[in-house]
Amino acid sequence: MEFQIHNPLDMHIHFRDEEMKDLVAPLTSWTFSGALVMPNLVPPVMNLEDLKAYKKRIEAVTSQDNFTPYMTVFFHEGLTREVLEEIKDYVTTIKLYPAWITTNSEWGVTSILSDTNKKIFADMQDLGIMLSIHGETGDFVMDREANFMPNYELIAKEFPRLKIVMEHITTREAAQTLDKYPNLYATITLQHLEITLDDVAGWALKPHLFCKPIAKRDEDRDALLELALSGHPKVSFGSDSAPHPQHAKECCGCAAGVFTAPIALQVLTEIFEKNEKLENLQKFVSTNAISIYGLTPNTKTIELEKKEFQVPEKYGNVVPYKAGETIAWSIKTIS
């Protein structure tokens, strides 16, 4: 059995920088036409100069592939209208992180709905710049995303022409919020379509499945599956593939992030085939994103075959999702 995916897009990816970028970026550019690159470096990508320099570094290690890095800027209070006008033609979206909520987010905002931030939202709305949000509060870890939903609703209601992407949603509450406002959209990761908190810590702690937002309950996973498998037009694939060196995962103070990039398309194909929804995979990994973000992706066709593939134990010093396991689908050709 064979299956083709055209112009696949990953609308949430972490490449990091320096040696890690050199290792992981080609693993995405090989199979994807483009990817939305997160700005939470140390220090973060905060202005046009940072953006151009980072994009150039990414292109230097992905030039062998037909691939576009779609760039983002870290949301901060210095985003005046003048700055926004300067960067608007270079960014696909601006990424907002609550402070200290995830990896390298210490430069994030402490008050989502401050007067300063509302002014930035208004300017973004006027200039047609999208807003992507890591939507979690600092509450009990299982409630953080659900408790953030009122913030999404308030922003969506007050700024109805501002496109807002709820990043890597993990809860039934987020799935239910999606259709309340026409300007709300969402990305969903691979791991949150498969795992629950029980997989992370139910028997023995599995650090390579630990990510933020943390995996939730069966009913939450099932709500995400329903959105993805249906080809819901407001939802697109965003892997949130987040590499960390093995020693930073297998330690006290385990870093948050699941590295799925090398096998994302193969495992997604397996999920959609198992649920008899292969006809909707193209929407989830390409068509919806093209519409939501207004993209014209590079032309690339990925031909997969139902042939077993053993996932490597490591890529460099990074342990991938399903390391050492055998998955049902393989990449046959890329054209």
Kindly report, residue by residue over 231-288, the tens digit of the pLDDT. 999 999 999 999 999 999 999 999 999 999 999 999 999 999 999 999 999 999 999 9
Number of domains the chain is built from: 1
Q: From CA 125, how far away is CA 113, in angstroms rounded?
A: 15
Model pLDDT, residue 284: 98
Residue ranges of alpha helices (H) inside 103-217 are: 115-127, 144-158, 172-177, 197-201
Model pLDDT, residue 58: 98
- Put residue 135 in one of left, alpha, beta given phi > 0 → left and psi -120 to 50 → alpha: beta
Extended beta strands in the chain, E state: 2-6, 9-13, 34-37, 68-70, 72-74, 93-96, 130-133, 164-166, 184-188, 235-237, 301-305, 309-310, 326-327, 330-334
Q: Examine the residue annotation and report whether 240 is marked as an active-site residue of this protein.
A: yes
Model pLDDT, residue 312: 98
Helix (H, G, I), strand (E, B) or coil at 330: strand
DSSP string spanning 242-297? ----HHHHSSTTPPP-B--GGGHHHHHHHHHHHTT-GGGHHIIIIIHHHHHHT--P
Model pLDDT, residue 138: 95
Model pLDDT, residue 188: 99
Q: Are 285 and 265 in contact (CB under 8 A)?
A: yes
Catalytic residue among 10, 50, 220, 240: 240
Phi and psi at residue 135, to the nearest 5°: -95, 85
| pTM for this predicted structure | 0.98
Model pLDDT, residue 190: 98
Model pLDDT, residue 308: 98
Q: How many CA atoms lie within 13 A of 273 on its CB side?
A: 16
- At 121, list the tokens: 């939202």
SS3 content of the chain, % helix, strand, coil (to 5): 40, 20, 45
- Put residue 7 in one of left, alpha, beta given phi > 0 → left and psi -120 to 50 → alpha: left
Helix (H, G, I), strand (E, B) or coil at 36: strand
Question: Which residues in the chain come in under a pLDDT of 70?
Answer: none
Q: Report the candidate in 158, 152, 161 with the shortest Cα–Cα distance to residue 179.
A: 152
Q: From CA 175, how far away is CA 171, in angstroms rounded?
A: 7
Model pLDDT, residue 247: 98
- At 102, list the tokens: 């995830």
Q: Are 263 and 335 in contact (CB under 8 A)?
A: no
Model pLDDT, residue 214: 98
Strand partners, 68: 34
Q: Report the candidate in 170, 218, 217, 166 with the shortest Cα–Cα distance to residue 190.
A: 170
Q: Are 49 and 84 in contact (CB under 8 A)?
A: no
Find the domain containing 302 and state its range.
Answer: 2-334
Model pLDDT, residue 129: 98
DSSP label at residue 107: T
What residue type is 126 in one-letter code? Answer: D
Output the domain CATH number for residue 318: 3.20.20.140
Model pLDDT, residue 225: 98
What residue type is 216 in one-letter code? Answer: K
Q: Are 133 and 152 in contact (CB under 8 A)?
A: yes
